[in-house]
Amino acid sequence: MAKRIDATNVTAYYGAFKAIENINITVEPKTVTALIGPSGCGKSTFLRSINRMHEVLPAARVEGSLTIDGQDIYDRDVDVTAVRRMIGMVFQRPNPFPTMSIYENVVAGLRLNGVRKKSLLDEAAEKALRSANLWDEVKDRLGKPGAGLSGGQQQRLCIARTIAVEPQVVLMDEPCSALDPISTLAIEDLMFQLKDKFTIIIVTHNMQQAARVSDRTAFFSIEKTGDPGRLIEYDNTQRIFSNPSQKKTEDYITGRFG
């Protein structure tokens, strides 16, 4: 199921502004990789370029090569919707579709991609909601609007929505930054379970979180405002947090900078 991601010399622009430069990273299947670094260093930009969400913004473009199991996702012949189905994404703020019920939200990805059969949808909805640890809380009110759930439940609903289309990779862009500690814990637990099936890449500002959930950690940084973000260090999480090879990483992790 899970796939390996190789980024080679990835550079991303917003118009004339270069947001990240020459990022080289290999993400192994069935691992959790955390991207950390100060604000504006391009973590989210890099994350969004992995499933081609970066180009949704006007004048944004990506150079370099990004492959998933050897397939270049920026190839001219690649269908962008297929890429996004393979590489799902959870956003910083929960964004359930306001006109849809909980059930419809979960199966939105399948239904909007042409799955009609009720039994298939029901099955997928229950499976995804169980995987997202939300089933017990919502099984009696699947017809109620998704926007009526609490923030943490909404975020788990969005995770369920993402994994319902059975992606190989799940990208998470600060998924817990709008949540309270209990909901955060629920989502971190969830990441441990999802790791069995998916490759997970998570952007986080919370270093304890990175240390808790990830196997590998990539530290991004910028020289000064206006410069492109660069990958400073990429290593096993334990090593990054105990004995980083770069001075900058150590400064950031010990709180001396950023």
Partner 1 sequence: MTTTLTSHRSRPPAQPPTLRARRLPKWLPPAIALGALLVAAAIVYGAGIGGPVLVVVVGALLYLAGLFAAAHAVEGRRSARNRTWSALIHSAFVLAVLPLASVVWTLFSKGLGRFDANFFLTSMNNIGARDPEGGAYHAIIGTLIQVGIAALITIPIGILCAIYIVEYGRGRFAFAIRFFVDVMTGIPSIVSGLFVLAFWVLVVSPYFSSTGRPGFSGFAAALALSVLMLPTVVRSTEEMLRLVPAPLREGAYALGVPKWKTILRVVLPTALPGIVTGVMLSIARAAGETAPVLLVAGGGAAINFNPFENNQSSLALFVYQQAGDASRYAPARAWTAALTLVALVLVLTIAAKLLARRNRLGR
The answer to whether the CB of 43 falls within 8 A of the CB of 219 is no
Burial status of residue 44 (CB atoms within 10 A of its CB: 0-12, 13-18, 19 or more): buried
Shortest CA distance to 215 belongs to which of 238, 189, 242? 238
Residue 246 CB, shortest distance to partner 1, in Å, is 32
Q: Determine the interface stretch with partner 1 among 9-17, 50-58, 125-133, 186-194 (rule: CB under 8 A).
A: 50-58
Q: Which of residues 197-226 bind partner 1 (CB under 8 A)?
A: none
Residue 67 CB, shortest distance to partner 1, in Å, is 18
Residue 232 CB, shortest distance to partner 1, in Å, is 28
Shortest CA distance to 167 belongs to which of 90, 84, 48? 84
Residue 9 CB, shortest distance to partner 1, in Å, is 25
Question: Is residue 61 a contact residue for partner 1 (CB under 8 A)?
Answer: no
Distance CA 15, CA 128 (A): 38
Residue 109 CB, shortest distance to partner 1, in Å, is 4
Question: Is residue 148 a contact residue for partner 1 (CB under 8 A)?
Answer: yes
Residue 153 CB, shortest distance to partner 1, in Å, is 16
The answer to whether the CB of 217 falls within 8 A of the CB of 237 is yes
Q: Determine the interface stretch with partner 1 among 121-129, 143-151, 202-210, 248-256 (rule: CB under 8 A).
A: 143-151
Q: Are strands 216-221 and 32-36 parallel, antiparallel or unpaired?
A: parallel
Which CB sits closer to partner 1, 146 or 244? 146
Which CB sits closer to partner 1, 144 or 247? 144
Name 130's Cβ contacts closer than 8 Å, sequence gap at least 6.
none
Q: Which of residues 64-123 bind partner 1 (CB under 8 A)?
A: 81-86, 88-89, 91, 93, 95-101, 108-109, 112-113
Distance CA 188, CA 175 (A): 10
**Partners of 202 in the β-ladder:** 34, 172
| Buried b / exposed e along 149-166 (16+ C-beta atoms within 10 A) | beebbbbbbbbbbbbbbb
Residue type, 228: P
Specify the residue for token string 């991004």.
220
Question: Is residue 13 a contact residue for partner 1 (CB under 8 A)?
Answer: no
Residue ranges in contact with partner 1 by CB under 8 A: 51, 53, 56, 58, 81-86, 88-89, 91, 93, 95-101, 108-109, 112-113, 144-145, 148, 158, 161-162, 165
